[in-house]
Chains A and B, each alone.
Chain A
């Protein structure tokens, strides 16, 4: 079964609002990464957080990691229509940088 599961499966918000997506995983990890996919294209790497980190920021993105709960969240602040995409978390269990992807959250930002 998938290492990561994301919640919600789909999210629709208005432009300017914040979007929060959650990811849960099952086994210990080396790091967790978030990716974005536009309409069936390739994925784009957004941010990586290591297992010894609790929070990381990149522009309008904020990622948290709680290894005790085996969960992570991605917050996109002040969302824009261009943020409309699918967002995936991916976990690296170590031993070779093989990533296991979650089920994805479809985000729609409406004008």
Chain B
């Protein structure tokens, strides 16, 4: 089973609330990512990190923010949730170069519904 954990699994929250989606991995991976998956299945990269104190925005503009204070932890925060934020959020991690396999390990995802 994957060693990357996302909580909560499901979240229903009211408009305007602040939320934090948690993501932790125990593999010591330097690289971590957040993807947003819409109902049509496409995945869009919204944030990534190459290590502690490194965060970058992805290809899809997002109102969320991330932090990377510890290698194993990469939380995503929405300061004021809106119905347009309703989606599935997937966290992933991968090893830094030098190895043959650069595949990602994904968490189980957080399905967020903003009402």
Contacts and interface: CB of A to CB of B under 8 A. Distances in A.
Interface of A: 2, 31, 33, 35, 40-45, 48, 86, 88, 90, 92, 96-101, 103-104, 106
A99 B41 contact: no
B88 interface: yes
B104 A101 contact: no
Interface of B: 2, 4, 6, 31, 33, 35, 40-43, 45, 48, 50, 58-59, 88, 90, 92, 94, 96-97, 101-109, 111
A44 B111 CA distance: 18
B65 to A, nearest CB: 19
Contacts of A99: 33, 45, 104
Chain A interface, DSSP helix/strand/loop, else mixed:
strand
B48 A40 contact: no
29 contacts: A2-B42, A31-B102, A33-B103, A35-B106, A42-B2, A42-B6, A42-B107, A42-B108, A42-B109, A44-B106, A45-B105, A48-B101, A86-B41, A88-B41, A88-B43, A92-B102, A97-B31, A97-B94, A97-B96, A97-B97, A97-B102, A98-B33, A99-B33, A99-B104, A101-B42, A101-B43, A103-B40, A104-B41, A104-B42
A48 B31 CA distance: 18
B110 to A, nearest CB: 10
B104 A98 contact: no
Choose among A31, A92, A98 the residue with the greatest number of B CB atoms under 10 Å from its CB.
A98
A43 B106 contact: yes
